[in-house]
Copies of this chain bind each other. A is one copy, B any other.
Amino acid sequence: MSESITNKQVRLAARPVGLPKQSDWKFTSATVPDLKEGEVLIKSLYLSLDPAMRGWMNEGRSYIRPVAIDEVMRAGGIGKVVASRSPRFAVGDHVAGTLGVQEYWSGPADDREVALHKIDPAAVPLPKYLNALGMPGMTAYFGLLEIGMPRAGETVVVSGAAGAVGQTVGQVAKHKGCRVVGIAGGKEKCDFVVNELGFDACIDYKNESVREGLKKHCPKGVDIYFDNVGGEILDDVLAKLAMKARIVICGAISQYNNTTPVRGPANYMSLLVNRARMEGMVVFDYADRYHVAVAEMSQWMKEGSFRSREDIVQGLEKFPEALLMLFEGKNFGKLVLQVAAE
């Protein structure tokens, strides 16, 4: 390339205590380097904002290495190839991969951590590739089917029901013949998952007792709980388990910004009484079968029996405040940061 391109980037400046503050981030600019053989340059269009990001900002052993201080913040994204010295990608291709919170990503086309792969912009709107057809959708699909193991007629409860993972959990469960009860914050979100996504019921945890809601909507108890939130709601569901219930531990957004110790589930002995199971999952373990999930959910989308909703915030500079929306429950649907026009 002859002209130099400036790449605005968001880097982790400090490990946050509690909710990430503006000062935990650093905005920098760099010039995009010339491509070497085998490399590509991607212009980011949409970035995925996820609760898991909060975990990546902490030190310590986890399922993925922490983002280092001064490193560009990790984020999944959708972009367009603007230069290529790799036979795998041509200029104009749309791709998904771990692009980071920045305007451009460049590097080896086969970088394993980034996992670039082509997507079809004609099949569904691009942001859906960060939602049902992206990481949250894969998490929901494999977490529910492989760990939850739903059978037709069982009752599935999912927290964060209007969120990226919750939307898909509930709809996959409906497709498998389950009764589905969501838990979400506010009437608008509850109406959405019932009326738009076809859940059987939704408990508005901000305005009603979750315990009472579970009693009302899960008369035979909870066979599967897909937990995105942890905290008090996990305890409420533990108290309503059916025999041989399965709890899928996917996240614990209520606990991610704690400055006090995590609240462990005090009702965990319900696992004994009900011969029930609580099991954790990490989506990357299913990477070799993502295509199966994408194919099935794409088909449902075409048939009109599967929907998803995104909440799109504009502008890379909005990243710090947009991320906080997740922890305040302010996003309505999968939260996406648009960093450039398509």
B-contacting residues of A (Cβ < 8 Å)?
A: 61-63, 230, 235, 249-252, 255, 261-282, 285
Contacts and interface: CB of A to CB of B under 8 A. Distances in A.
A282 B275 CA distance: 7
A272 B235 contact: no
B273 A262 contact: no
Given A63-B272, A268-B249, A279 B281 contact: no
19 contacts: A61-B273, A235-B264, A250-B272, A255-B269, A261-B266, A262-B266, A264-B265, A264-B267, A264-B268, A268-B268, A268-B278, A269-B280, A272-B282, A273-B282, A275-B280, A275-B281, A275-B282, A277-B277, A277-B278
B264 A266 contact: yes
A252 B252 CA distance: 24
A296 B266 CA distance: 37
A262 B272 contact: no
Nearest to A270: B280
Nearest to A239: B61
B271 A279 contact: yes
Contacts of A285: 275
A148 B63 CA distance: 23
A262 B271 contact: no
B252 A262 contact: no
A275 B139 CA distance: 13
Nearest to A64: B273
A244 to B, nearest CB: 10
A224 to B, nearest CB: 14
A143 to B, nearest CB: 10
A249 B252 CA distance: 21
A113 B256 CA distance: 47
Contacts of A278: 268, 271, 277-279
A87 B276 CA distance: 40
B279 A276 contact: yes
Given A249-B271, A271-B249, A276 B280 contact: yes
Tell which of A250, A272, A276 has the most Cβ of chain B within 10 Å.
A272
Contact of A269 (B249, B267, B273, B275): B249
Contacts of A230: 269
B277 A269 contact: no
A294 B193 CA distance: 52
Contacts of A265: 264-265, 268
A173 to B, nearest CB: 20
A39 to B, nearest CB: 33
Contacts of A255: 269
A273 B66 CA distance: 13
Nearest to A262: B266
